[in-house]
Structure 1
Amino acid sequence: MDGTRVRPLAAPAACTVRDLRGSAARSPRSLSFRVGDIVVVSGLPGGGKSTLIKRAAPGGGIDSQDVRERWERRMPRALPYAAYRPLVRAAHYWALWRELRSGASVVVHDCGTQSWVRALLAATVRRRGSRLHLLLLDTTPEEALAGQESRGRGVSPYAFARHRAAVTRLLAAAAAGRSPRGCATTTLLDRPSAATLTEITFTP
């Protein structure tokens, strides 16, 4: 399916969930959404969200991981991340706010634990007359923890438990054929199908 453009909205309106798990050989290399739409990439820490955004999203999207890495380069190595985490989050949400105000189509990294972020994105697309879409990476806790180890950066057990609970709720909604409130569609990806995806585009 090289070069195939797949529009999640091509399915009947009642079917808002598309499951690409377990089908890497048949998974599209490109997903296309409408100009003005917003795409949220969610999943467990270490599950591959940042990797997917950097590979497939135009301009790299809005990724909190990028913000964290920029701040880490500026801070003394001995200073723990917890000490400047609030600054990283403020910088990330400020960059997101500026991008939303510009009216541009955007791909956003979202951990899923901050419900107000998705509410903000949903309110933005309502004002635009566009749509919000969720790309949900379904990885096992073991895969996610291995991903954290490989990048040399992890989250606390408490934070990981919060992320896991949030992702479990999103997966449960998808299993019932529902997208989260405010989202027009949900696309489920596992690691193989996510690795197949190389392009997210926005077309008229």
Structure 2
Amino acid sequence: MTRTTAYATTGIALPGQPAAPARERHGERPARVVRDLRDRTGRSPHGLLFGPRDLVVVTGLPGSGKSTLMHRTVQGIRIDSQDTRDRWDARLARFLPYALYRPLVRLAHYAGLRRALRSGEGVVVHDCGTQAWVRDWLARAARSRGATLHLLLLDVPQGTALDGQRERGRGVSRYAFLRHRHAASRLVRAVERGGLPRGVGSAVLLDRDAADVLCRIAFREPEKRAG
């Protein structure tokens, strides 16, 4: 029977794709599944619950609301590059332009992610979608802990994302935004066809309405061993 480790708050498992589960080193793996929560006019699930050691990547255009969604909903370890930048900005922004200390911010972010992965607990990670090597890293980490990597894809129109950048008073260059838009569009099209990135076990497509309805992203408690 097709199964997955991600659930809606109603307790209904994410629907499986018509593919047989693959047997890997850690035993029977869940089938790769996609759940599309877009265009439901507020009738999408209020929460998503994942396995206790699973990894979740939240991706989408800059300004689409990834950080806002994570801050509002994640119950557990949250690794957001924006949090790292905010901490460094508080110390250095008065003295230096961001471009000068951006490499240090990135190093600090990935060091924090590495520490979180070593904890063995479930982790939710912010990703803009252009750093495929980060997803490869997370996929390897998920396999090594016998867990699943999940993708939460926030699909919003370009104008909505640009408005989001203006509202937060922080944007990316036109070139960078076009690069992000190309990567995000390609990823959405692939997921809509059921073609998940390598190492990803499931994907959830969210529009802005579905993201606004969602109020909880959490991980199940580990099962206690008898005796």
Same fold (TM over 0.5): yes
Query: What is the aligned partner in structure 2 of residue 131 from structure 1?
Result: 148
Q: Give the secondary structure class of the aligned counterpart of 1:94.
A: helix
The answer for the alignment partner of 2:225 in structure 1 is none
**Alignment partner for residue 57 of structure 1, among 67, 70, 74?**
74
Match of 2:126 among 86, 109, 127: 109
Given that 1:7 and 1:33 are in contact with CA atoms closer than 8 Å, whether structure 2 keeps it comes out as no
Judge which range, 24-33 or 46-55, deviates more. 24-33
Kindly provide the CA deviation profile for residues 128-179 of structure 1, in whole angstroms up to 9, marking residues without a partner as x. 1110000000011110000000000000111111111111121111121222
Partner of 2:92: 75
Greater relative contact order: 1 or 2 (C-alpha under 8 angstroms, separation 6 or more)?
A: 1
- 5 Å-filtered alignment, 1:1-16, equals 4-8=10-14, 11=16, 14=19, 16=33
Give the counterpart of 2:205 among 184, 188, 194. 188
> For each residue in 1:13-47, what CA deviation from the matched residue of structure 2 results, as whole angstroms up to 9, or x when unmatched?
63611100011422111101111000000000000
Taking the aligned partners of 2:131 and 2:86, their CA distance within structure 1 comes to 21
SS at match of 2:134: helix
**How much has 1:60 moved relative to structure 2?**
6.0
Matches of 1:13 and 1:183, distance apart in 2 = 16
5 Å-filtered alignment, 1:28-43, equals 28-43=45-60
C-alpha RMSD over aligned residues:
1.7
Shift of 1:81: 1.4
**Structure 2 vs 1, CA of residues 92 and 6 (structure 1 numbering), >3 Å: closer, same or farther?**
farther
Q: Which runs of 5+ in 2 are unaligned?
A: 1-7, 20-31, 223-227
**Deviation of residue 84 (structure 1)?**
1.0
**Corresponding residue for residue 44 of structure 1:** 61
Pair 153,60 (structure 1): closer, same or farther in 2 beyond 3 Å: farther
- Secondary structure (helix, strand or coil) at the match of 1:139 reads coil
Larger radius of gyration: 2
In 1, Cα distance between the equivalents of 2:12 and 2:109? 30
Q: CA offset at residue 3 of structure 1?
A: 5.2
Judged with a 3 Å threshold, the aligned counterparts in structure 2 of structure 1 residues 59 and 128 are, in CA distance, closer, same or farther, namely closer
Matched, 1:177 2:194: yes
Distance in 1, Cα, partners of 2:95 & 2:166: 20
CA shift digits 1:45-79 (9 cap, x unpaired) = 00000001001112461000111111111014352
Using a 3 Å threshold, how does the CA distance of structure 1 residues 136 and 79 change in structure 2: closer, same or farther?
same
Query: Secondary structure of 2:42's partner?
Result: helix
Q: CA deviation at 1:87?
A: 0.8
Q: Which is richer in helix?
A: 1
Q: Unaligned 5+ residue runs, structure 1?
A: none
Distance 1:24 1:33, change over 3 A: farther
CA distance in structure 1 between the partners assigned to 2:178 and 2:165 by the alignment: 14
